[in-house]
Amino acid sequence: MTSIADQSEDRKSGERAWVAAIRDVLDRPLTSYHIVLGATGLLLVLGLMMVLSASSVLSLRVNGNSYTIFVRQLIWVVVGLPMAYVASRMTPRHFRMLAYVALLGSMFLLVLTYIPGLGVGVNGNTNWLNLGGPLQIQPSEFAKLAMVMWCADLYARKEQLLTQWKHLLVPMVPVCGLVIALVVGQHDLGTALVLMAVMIGMIWIVGAPTRLFVATIAVVGAVATYFVNAEKYRMERVTSFLDPFSDPRGVGWQAYHSFYALSTGGWWGVGIGNSRQKWSNLPEAHTDFIFSVIGEELGLVGSLTVLALFLVMAYAGVRIATRNTEPFVRYAAAGITIWIMAQTLVNLGAVIGLLPIVGIPLPLLSYGGSALLPTLIAIGMLLSFAKAEPGAQAALKETRRPRFGWLPSRRTPHYK
């Protein structure tokens, strides 16, 4: 009969074995690669499933077919996955060659939205570009990726000069400020906030002094406050955020029904496809408020699963940035992680009432090709960077070798 001390020792040994097993998995050279690939795949599949569920009623009412919006999203996924694959096969040198082209191209597209006939207004924001027929794109979504690539290349070139504050801020802040100003001019404050977060994050990861970092945040906060006060509807959103139940039939409509959807989901949800709020009560259910439908249909367990997947992806991004020695890779991986996580936090904060509603999609889950394509390209970049971690290339070659020892060699005949 085992004693209490022996049972305690066995329990500690089991715990040490689990810790050793987890450490062994995390120490593998391809862990980052597999985490990014797995988390992205799960979020994409869940996103397609929830877009179908959240958009079916609206799609049937507008198009006469419950699958129209879902099929469009599926097409964007089919288009985006090869782009992500190509990005995963590229090298940091290729990305650096494209950085200035991407930045100038995205700025040019942003300027085109100001031209009457080309710029298209949606929900009060003139941030869409008409490419002819039903095809429209949102250039500000591509500007996020372009800004990360350009900032990473710029700071990599200035690696030895980043101890001087002027090289930290010039020309990075003026150029990024111009991009943000073009987005703010479209009345798209949500995307502008994400771009501001990317700019501040890039300044932080290159090691800006605390006083300079705080001063940058203060300036950005003052600019954001000014633009909020400049438009009546923005102030109404902030007021609604502070007390969404004061006007549930007016400016608080979205927040009110978002809370209701989340609160009725319970632990396990009402079941996929059984959301009641998507029946016209919750505007933008398949885009900005898709997390509300997830909470209603999949419950707290489903919501926490989504949060866990994003946290795992954030861990992988930080891991890639810290395990690489090349400056561009470190800055680009960190910038992509900041961008995706900042957009996720702003979206989720609005859905659960911690932040004002600014109207931005949830990465990889919300409907929309303009947001999905640059995100998938960024994921492809992370996969490329993950393959540059120490030992990753050797591990990839090992996994590609035939596992069947009985197969004959091409050089040695099987029979003598």
Range in 94-103, 330-339, 402-411 the model is least confident about: 402-411
Spell out the residues 6+ positions from residue 143 whose beta carbon is closer than 8 angstroms to its own. Answer: 106, 107, 110, 179, 183, 195
Q: What is the mean pLDDT of residues 182-192?
A: 89
- pLDDT of 383 higher than 90: yes
């990726």: which residue's tokens? 145
- Say how many C-beta atoms besides its own lie within 10 A of residue 406's C-beta: 6
Q: Who has greater pLDDT, 384 or 222?
A: 384
pTM of the shown model = 0.90
pLDDT given at position 416: 35
Range in 25-29, 290-294, 338-342, 370-374 the model is least confident about: 25-29
pLDDT given at position 244: 75
Q: How confident is the model at residue 400 (pLDDT cuts 50, 70, 90)?
A: low
CB-CB contact of 294 with 278 (8 Å): no
């109404």: which residue's tokens? 236
Query: Burial of 38 by CB count in 10 Å (0-12 exposed, 13-18 middle, 19+ buried)?
Result: middle
pLDDT given at position 47: 97
Q: Which range is most confident: 72-86, 209-223, 378-392, 395-409?
A: 72-86
pLDDT given at position 409: 46
CB-CB contact of 282 with 261 (8 Å): yes
pLDDT given at position 7: 59
Q: What whole-number percentage of the chain has pLDDT above 90?
A: 60
- pLDDT of 325 higher than 80: yes
CB-CB contact of 304 with 289 (8 Å): no
Spell out the residues 6+ positions from residue 412 whose beta carbon is closer than 8 angstroms to its own. Answer: none
- Say how many C-beta atoms besides its own lie within 10 A of residue 231's C-beta: 13
List, in sequence order, every residue forming a beta bridge with 137; answer none if it has no partner: 129
Q: What is the mean pLDDT of residues 136-142?
A: 93
- pLDDT of 343 higher than 80: yes
CB-CB contact of 116 with 410 (8 Å): no
Task: Give the dihedral of Cα atoms 178, 147, 367, 132; nearest 10 deg.
Answer: 60
- pLDDT of 386 higher than 80: yes
How much is the mean pLDDT over the chain?
87
Q: Which two tokens stand for residue 323?
A: 């395990």
- pLDDT of 279 higher than 50: yes
Q: Who has greater pLDDT, 1 or 247?
A: 247
Q: What's the rounded Cα separation, in Å, for the pair 122 and 93? A: 38
Range in 84-93, 115-124, 193-202, 228-237 the model is least confident about: 228-237
pLDDT given at position 183: 93
Q: Per-residue pLDDT tens for 301-315?
A: 999 999 999 999 999
Q: How confident is the model at residue 89 (pLDDT cuts 50, 70, 90)?
A: very high
Q: Per-residue pLDDT tens for 99-134?
A: 999 999 999 999 999 998 888 877 767 888 987 767
Query: Any idea what DSSP says for residue 116?
Result: B
Helices (H), 64-171: 68-89, 92-112, 139-157, 165-169
Q: 160: left (phi > 0), else alpha (psi -120 to 50), else beta?
A: alpha
Range in 40-44, 79-83, 306-310, 396-400 the model is least confident about: 396-400
Q: What is the mean pLDDT of residues 250-259?
A: 83
Q: Calculate the CA 391 to chain-centre distance.
A: 27
CB-CB contact of 321 with 337 (8 Å): yes
Element (H, E) at 119: strand 119-122
